[in-house]
Copies of this chain bind each other. A is one copy, B any other.
Amino acid sequence: MEHLLTHIINYHPLPEAAKNALANCLVKKTMAKNELLLTEGRVCRHLYFLEKGALRGFYNLDGKEITHWFAFENDFVTSFHSFTTGKPAVENIQLLEGSVLWAISKEDITELFNQHHEIERLVRIAYEKYYIRLEERFVNAQFKTAKELYETLLIHNPHIIERVSLGCIASYLGISQETLSRIRGQF
């Protein structure tokens, strides 16, 4: 957990009191490959920090599973829309590998925000980074060819290619499995 906190305060340093308060709210959760952390239709009431392992968020579209994000070591994980609005999730969260997570409930984090301005600041700053990441993905998705998308992933997120199946990667990039397989064959 110490290691995890070190990563969290990378976003923004926290005073000892805030750091301890946060640590006290975190509950460890260990899950096995393929298990679901969240099922479509349920409200996501927790924010998670991924200490070890890998996850994906996916939703169903015309009977196909569309993976729209991956999470790895030290990432924040939640169904963002559901967690922030309190509405049922449209997505599922699944374990791609056996993983160790630390959970914090929405109530607890709300209380932490009230007690520790610096924790809300940390989250505000984390949001900025996540927003920028999403913007980049968006720009790529809109104007790059399938091959360019794969090359970009290979350069910037090689861990995804190493740890995730081809089918998941294809839908993540917004291309068909067959196209991705053909592209990969060229390398």
Number of copies of this chain in the oligomer? 2
A88 at the binding interface (Cβ < 8 Å):
no
A112-155 at interface with B (beta carbon < 8 Å): 113, 117, 120-121, 123-124, 127-128, 130-132, 134-135, 137-139, 141-143
A61 at the binding interface (Cβ < 8 Å):
yes
Given the contacts A132-B80, A138-B137, A143 and B61 also touching, CB distance less than 8 Å: yes
B131 touches A127 (CB 8 A): yes
Chain B residues contacting A135 (CB-CB under 8 Å) are: 80-81, 134
Alpha-carbon distance between A138 and B91 when the two chains are bound, in angstroms: 15
Bitwise interface map of A from 79 to 103 toward B, beta carbon under 8 Å scored 1, else 0: 0110011000000000000000000
A68 at the binding interface (Cβ < 8 Å):
yes
Chain B residues contacting A77 (CB-CB under 8 Å) are: none
Alpha-carbon distance between A9 and B141 when the two chains are bound, in angstroms: 34
Q: Which secondary structure characterizes the binding site on chain A?
A: helix
A142 touches B143 (CB 8 A): no
A61-76 at interface with B (beta carbon < 8 Å): 61, 66, 68
Q: A81, A131, A137 — which one has the most chain B CB atoms within 10 A of its CB?
A: A131
Alpha-carbon distance between A137 and B134 when the two chains are bound, in angstroms: 11
Chain B residues contacting A132 (CB-CB under 8 Å) are: 80-81, 84-85
Q: List A residues at the B interface (Cβ < 8 Å).
A: 61, 66, 68, 80-81, 84-85, 113, 117, 120-121, 123-124, 127-128, 130-132, 134-135, 137-139, 141-143, 174
